[in-house]
Amino acid sequence: MSPKPDADSVRTLGILAGSGTLPRAVAQACAARGIGVFVIDLGGAVGDWARDFPHERVAMGQVGRVLALLTREGCDAVTMAGGLVRPSLTGIRFDRQGLALLPRIARLFRSGDDGLLSGVADMFEEKGFPVIGPEAFLPADLARAGDMVGQGAARDDIALGRSILDALSPFDIGQAVVVADGVCIAVEAAEGTAAMLARVEDLRAGRDGGGVLVKMPKRGQDTRVDRPAIGPDTVRAAAAAGLVGIAVEAGGVIVLEPGRTERCAAEAGIFLHGFAR
Amino acid sequence: MSPKPDADSVRTLGILAGSGTLPRAVAQACAARGIGVFVIDLGGAVGDWARDFPHERVAMGQVGRVLALLTREGCDAVTMAGGLVRPSLTGIRFDRQGLALLPRIARLFRSGDDGLLSGVADMFEEKGFPVIGPEAFLPADLARAGDMVGQGAARDDIALGRSILDALSPFDIGQAVVVADGVCIAVEAAEGTAAMLARVEDLRAGRDGGGVLVKMPKRGQDTRVDRPAIGPDTVRAAAAAGLVGIAVEAGGVIVLEPGRTERCAAEAGIFLHGFAR
């Protein structure tokens, strides 16, 4: 395989897009940088914003169709962005090329979300489409170590959150928890961070809260896919849930629109902290 | 302390009641058995059903008031039932007796939900009110080992769910997860099982699902409080979420209204399985 291009050398990026704000941010950032975009809406998870870009909806399992679309549109790289709730294997209607890959896909299905996404990334690369993490196209930095916004606080809750995520790491579950006063009140799995924070907001129903969002990558996570990220939306959701701060692994978690994210945190009065692995 | 009375010798039960269907079920079952009931609505978490019984609403932290009410109403035992979202310690307005216990309560706050509830149960027992688990008053059995309804299935998913709950056990988090095709899609924390199953239903949005609810007590759990339970509502919620079955620890999880729960499962076509610890 030829060496992977960096984002600046990509001419047209195929975005395999799920739900959430990340795929749209990637598409808009590419447009601003003069990189062409083709959005593949996986199973209808993508919002109306896709209408602003060349796009096509495909059902899960339409592997041959996706490869044909990427070729037709002249994509020279692919990124996978956004959330997907994986269907059951028996619920997928595979096309002919998908069926040929079925034994391999069936094996991947047993290997957790991260294993599945990694395996899908490998398949695209074998077909000649390098897979690049979405953050390469975004105004984003990896989290810095230390206090990014506000003063160090809630150290015990951060330590407990890290211990819980470490204990969950072998099981390929979520990448985030909410801990308050020594108690874990929410664990993220397939619903994603935004839904978890909305749940904490509901549970508290406006009562006094406290607590910290702790987010870090799983051990051995494939950074081409599914790298954990925070951004202005995360900060707003954490503040709405009554949290006092957000702690992320320095060098492991993406901060989208870092300047705006830090301003949001400062305005909301919540801290942003990066801990070393 | 005198030996703990069994449910049949209780004349008037004080129910420290939170949200959910369990406190109402306890009150109704007591009424049917001729046991008097006094419902203490903790912070307004209890539904309208409390109007059918002698009741009083108290704010968290009104320890002296709760003890005075239990004495006034002649309660000779107490049960703790239903869900509570713990407030932050600084948000509680303690009465005088509560303030006297504040150092102890502050310590309990650092020991997780289970530690907090156990400590509160200890305090009631010291004040002369034995604490009895709610299941003692209900038409309920502990789950049996083996296939209660349906045939053994999804053994790998059950094993994975048990491993995840074991890994989480030291952290005093929830008691249930949903696992489908080798992937954990939801972890219960403060929101409770019903909210977790509703989330899985939403995530799937009617798509083909599969998967198993796995529920078991935390290691070393105080069985006076917060013992995990399933019932007809759990079965209906699991079926609505597209699950194929429910697996619980035999001898460790309460089955409310066992006959009706098993009929519900049979009608919904989902299995009920009890695994040995």
Q: Which residues have CB under 8 Å from A158's CB, separation 6+?
A: A179, A212, A214, A247, A273, A275
Q: What is the mean pLDDT of residues B113-131?
A: 85
Summarised one tens digit per residue, pLDDT across range A226-263 is 678 899 999 999 999 999 999 999 988 989 889 999 99
Q: How far is CA A157 from the centre of its chain?
A: 24
Beta strands in chain A (DSSP E): 12-17, 36-42, 55-58, 77-81, 140-142, 146-149, 176-180, 183-187, 212-215, 229-230, 245-249, 254-256, 271-275
Residue B53 confidence (pLDDT): 95
Residue of A164, A184, A208 with shortest CB distance to B88:
A208
Gap between the Cα atoms of B257 and B231, Å rounded:
6
Partners of A205 on chain B (C-beta within 8 Å) are 85
Whether the per-residue pLDDT at A3 is higher than 60: the answer is no
Structure tokens at A159: 């330590």
Q: Give one DSSP letter per residue of A18-49, joined into a string.
A: -BSSHHHHHHHHHHHHT-EEEEEEETT-S-GG
What is the per-residue pLDDT for A98?
A: 81
CB A143 within 8 A of CB A274: yes
**Among A85, A199, A210, beta carbon nearest to B191:** A199
Over residues A76-98, the mean pLDDT reads: 79
Give the residue-averaged pLDDT of B196-221: 85
Asked if the Cβ–Cβ distance from B209 to A88 is below 8 Å, we say yes
- Contact between A216 and A253 under an 8 Å Cβ cutoff? The reply is yes
* Residues of chain B contacting residue A89, judged by C-beta atoms under 8 Å apart: 181
pLDDT of A267 higher than 80 = yes
Give kind and range of the element (H or E) at residue A5: none
Shortest CA distance from B165: residue in chain A: A168
- A190 and B173 within 8 Å at the Cβ level: the answer is no
Please provide the average confidence, as pLDDT, over all residues in chain B.
87
pLDDT tens digits, B82-109: 777 666 667 778 888 888 877 777 777 7
Q: What is the pLDDT of residue A42?
A: 85
Cβ of B88 within 8 Å of Cβ of A191? The answer is no
Q: Which of the 8 DSSP states describes residue B11?
A: S
Q: Which residues of B176-253 form beta strands (DSSP E)?
A: 176-180, 183-187, 212-215, 229-230, 245-249
Residues of A in contact with B181 (CB under 8 A): 86, 88-89, 109-110
Kindly report, residue by residue over A168-180, the tens digit of the pLDDT: 988 888 789 999 9
Q: What mean pLDDT do residues A72-81 have?
A: 94
Task: Compute CA distances A216 → A127, A132, A164, whole Å.
Answer: 31, 20, 11
Q: Is the pTM of this model over 0.90?
A: no
ipTM (interface predicted TM): 0.76
> By the 8 A CB rule, do B262 and B220 touch?
no
Q: Do A181 and B91 touch (CB under 8 A)?
A: no
CA angle A229, A231, A232 (to 5 degrees): 165
Contacts A–B by Cβ distance under 8 A: 118
Q: Which of A50-54, A264-268, B188-192 bottoms out in mean pLDDT, i.e. has the lowest?
A: B188-192
Nearest to A1 by CA among A124, A100, A136, A97: A124
State how far the Cα of B183 lies from the Cα of B181, in Å rounded to an integer.
6
Cα angle value A25/A191/A204 (rounded, 5°): 105
